[in-house]
Amino acid sequence: MAVTTFAAIDIASYDVSIEIFELRKNSGLKSITRVRQNLELGRDTYALHKITLEKLQQLTDILSDYKRIMKEFGVADYRACAKSAFREARNRYLAVDHIRRATGIEIDILSNSEQRFLGYKSIASKGEEFQQFIQKGTAIIDVGGGSTQISIFNKDALVMTQNMLLGSLRVRERLSSIRHETVHFDRLVRELIHKDLVNVRKMYLKNKEIKNIILVGDYFTNLIFQNRNDLDKTETKAEFMEWYDHVVGSSPRDVADELGISAEMSSVLIPTATVYKELIEALNVETIWLPGIQLTDGIAYDYGEKVKLIRSAHDFEKDIVLAAKNISRRYASYKPHNEKLVEAACAIFDVVRKQAGLDARTKVLLKVACYLHDCGKYISLVNVGDCSYNIIMSTEIIGLSVRERRIIANVAKYNTQELSYYKVDGITDELSEYDYMLVCHLAAIMRLANCLDQSYKQKVEGIAVSKKDRELVIAVDVNSDYTLEKGIFRENVDFFEEIYDLKPVLKIRNNEVRKNG
């Protein structure tokens, strides 16, 4: 059986780790070794908004050492991911270039939604246990150095996810000037994060019954919950609260000695533990599960899926689409129309995808664009395209990169606005040529599909799309007069033909309904 050796590198706010895995088809991941080195990149970023030359050189030295380790283990492929400490640094691209030239290692700077998505895949590497947990109301809490993510699953579906700038290092740096003015540092942390938690409870957790919490974090998560060997561990709320009271009642030096860490690291421990405590109390759960995983597990799992060595029981792309549906609900989009739009758009996509070179991931982007295409109506019924664009670009969509979100936002924008030609109008300078063409292809599909339910009355009961010579034949069964839709359809034929070199032809199969409607 073929074995692939893969290295996952996690560049976090206060450490840099590498984990080497073996991947075997149908048997999952096997961790061979893990190395972790302390490096507080986040201290520079959250205070100075840049990575200093000193920290950059330390990171370069660490990654050079990790490159040596990869060579020793005969690693066939790797992925190095950087999180918020890089993402929020103004000189992030200079740092990436420096490391590339010095070590040959390419770094992916993850968006927050990509980072958290890999966190979910870390849990999915636990297999059936993950699937069983998320059948009932389950909150996944991920406290990192820069921010905290809370996501709610129910009946195997993602129903809510929200990010808060309440990371452990960020909180510590925010309070650094006053933390020595009190012996109750945990109280300062609680007061600082109180308003954010109130808003989350009020806006996102109302009427949601949460039975379990799954904790996805990093080295500090397992340290706080006394899970030093990254074991699969479950504990009760009462057990955690007893330990929490003990820690906050001890001096930083005593905590450092007890846990075998430096005093500097213990200063990060209280903010992390306090954020967990407040969320556990807010959600009022009894069962806390620590799967004993790190982001490196998710990086390796994601790689295994892409090279078809791992098949997940959980549909992660479905989570992306569900997140879009929940966002559309927040902005009062009309669900029946959106469902018809997705159905028609996917039917057209499946026929033209091969000719246009569109892949399965592009179909996911099309579905998301369909659900969010008119969210801007919540703000303005006149400037729908621009408002939809701004909402999408300002809203995290779990599992999507900033680039993919920009593609979707432009598809929504050009659903109603005249398309800007590449590098001519200046508006599309933010897109690469390849991404611009993706926008054109998806916008052409969406415009045509949108015509089929122009009245928002769901007149189409059945749709069949086929290609004949240079025509795209769309045959529909309708339940009432279809005159409006036919007229709007004709208005969008030229645009679709310009993009695909196929002339759309609309055929109504039950003509008696059309005549007598």
Compute the average pLDDT of residues 22-46.
87
User: Any idea where the domains of the chain sit in the sequence?
Assistant: 3-110, 126-292, 316-516
Chain segment 391-419, per-residue pLDDT in tens: 999 988 888 988 999 999 999 999 988 88
Q: Give residue 368's pLDDT.
A: 97
CA 475-478-480 angle, 5° bins: 150
Report the top-level CATH class of 316-516.
mainly alpha
Question: If one looks up domain 126-292 in CATH, what number appears?
Answer: 3.30.420.150
214 burial level (CB within 10 Å; 0-12, 13-18, 19+): buried
Chain segment 491-510, per-residue pLDDT in tens: 999 999 999 999 999 999 87
Q: Residue 104 — very low, low, confident or very high, per pLDDT cuts 50/70/90? A: very high
Question: Do 126-292 and 316-516 have matching folds?
Answer: no
> Cβ(196)–Cβ(69) under 8 Å?
no
444 burial level (CB within 10 Å; 0-12, 13-18, 19+): buried
Q: Is residue 511 scored above 70 in pLDDT?
A: no
Q: Is 112 left (phi over 0), alpha (psi -120 to 50) or beta?
A: alpha
Q: Is residue 422 scored above 80 in pLDDT?
A: no
Concatenate the DSSP letters of all residues of 131-170 into one string: HHHTTS-EEEEEE-SS-EEEEEEETTEEEEEEEES--HHH
CATH architecture of 3-110: 2-Layer Sandwich (3.30)
Compute the average pLDDT of residues 310-335.
88
Q: What percent of the chain has pLDDT over 90?
A: 48
Q: Residue 513 — very low, low, confident or very high, per pLDDT cuts 50/70/90? A: very low
> Cβ(106)–Cβ(80) under 8 Å?
yes
Chain segment 359-368, per-residue pLDDT in tens: 999 999 999 9
Whole-angstrom Cα distance, residue 330 to residue 190? 29
Could you give phi then psi for residue 420, rounded to 5 degrees?
A: -85, 135
Q: Give residue 230's pLDDT.
A: 58
Whole-angstrom Cα distance, residue 78 to residue 296? 11
Q: Where are the beta strands (DSSP E) in 223-269?
A: 233-236
Q: Give residue 136's pLDDT.
A: 78
Q: Give residue 363's pLDDT.
A: 97
Q: Give residue 427's pLDDT.
A: 55
Token pair listed for 92: 């992030």
Q: Is residue 300 scored above 60 in pLDDT?
A: yes
Chain segment 269-289, per-residue pLDDT in tens: 788 888 888 888 888 887 888
Q: Is residue 262 scored above 70 in pLDDT?
A: yes
